[in-house]
Every structure is written in structure tokens, then in C-alpha cells.
Structure 1
Amino acid sequence: MELAVTEYIGLVAGTLTTGAYLPQVWRTWRSKTVDDISLAMYWSMTLGVGLWLVYGIAIRAAAVVIANAVCLVLVASMLRMRIRYGRRAREDAARGQLPPLQ
């Protein structure tokens, strides 16, 4: 199967834009810190990338499907970590504000 130049461009573009999320996912996973990560942004990105994936499937564009499938995993992982670690941080802070037991 021979790919057109435009498919190669799409695959390279998808690899670069999807790969851009890897450092953030890795850092967040290792540090378990989400203080400066926007919950609204990751909800929006997850929904948007999911819709791009559906669009790519509908038009049968391999580059769009592959890039957005991988990207969806990454942004959904960030969303999950943002919710999970953010909740944990709030709970820890609340515990710290309670008076010590005697």
C-alpha cells in the first residue's frame, strides 16, 4: 500500500502534536501534582479529540484516526489524573486544617 504525500504530512503532524502531550502526562504521573492544570481545558480537549476521532473514522482518514486515537488516550489520562490527584490534594488540605485529635 502506497501512501500519498499528504498522508505522510498528516502522519508527521499527528505524531508531533500528539507527542507534545507526552512530557506533561509523564511529569504529572511522576509528580502526582496537578495544581496548575486546568480541569476545564482537559474536559474540552477530551471531548474535542473524541469528536476529531469520530470525524476521522467517518471520512476514513488514517492519519486523523491514528493521531486522535492516541491523543485521546493521553488527554483522557491527563483528565483522569487531574480529577484524581486534585481530589486527593483537596482532601489532604482539608485534613491539615482540622484541629489535632487529643
Structure 2
Amino acid sequence: MDYIEMIGFIAAFLTTAAFLPQVYKTWKTKDVSALSLPMLLMFLVGIILWLVYALYIPSPSMIVTNTITIVSAFFLIYFKIKYGKT
């Protein structure tokens, strides 16, 4: 693994890890009032496109972390729909 890919793994780890506390907090509190469904949907589509790009390059760091972020974003969308006011 070259040093550029290592930098990619570190950056990807930090940005993915920064997102996980929000998922955990939302899961524990079930408070989704501050979450915007349109933003979450645009974010999910963007991350899916990043994953497609990463698969095309290929970039292992982007593949791994974008896959994890897709799952996290999916959970936030699920929580927003399940716990949001109807």
C-alpha cells in the first residue's frame, strides 16, 4: 500500500467515524427533529456515487469507508421515517 492510499484510509476513517456518533445518538434518543430528510437523501445518493467512483478507480480506502457510510446514512433515513412526526 502506498502512502497516498494510507492518507486516504486515515481521511476516510476520520470522516466516517465523525458520522457514527450522530447515528448512535439518534438511535438512543429517537430524536430526529434536527435531521433533514432531503439532506439525508442527497447525502446518501452522493455517497453511493462516491462508492461507484471508488470501485471504478479502484480505491480500497474509499470503497470500505463509503460502504460503511452508506449503511450509516441508511440507518439515519430509517430512523427519520420511523421516529419522525407524521
Normalising by structure 2, what TM-score? 0.95
Aligned residue-pair number = 86
Among residues 25, 29, 32, which one is paired with 1:31 in the alignment? 29
Tell me, in whole angstroms, the C-alpha distance in 2 between the residues paired with 1:83 and 1:4. 42
Q: Percent same amino acid at aligned positions?
A: 36
Normalising by structure 1, what TM-score? 0.81
Unaligned runs of 5+ in 1: 91-102
After superposing on structure 2, the runs of 4+ consecutive aligned residues of structure 1 that deviate more than 3 Å are none
Coordinate RMSD, CA, aligned: 0.8
2:71 matched to 1:73? yes
1:44 corresponds in structure 2 to 42
Which structure has the greater CA radius of gyration? Answer: 1
Unaligned runs of 5+ in 2: none
1:64 corresponds in structure 2 to 62
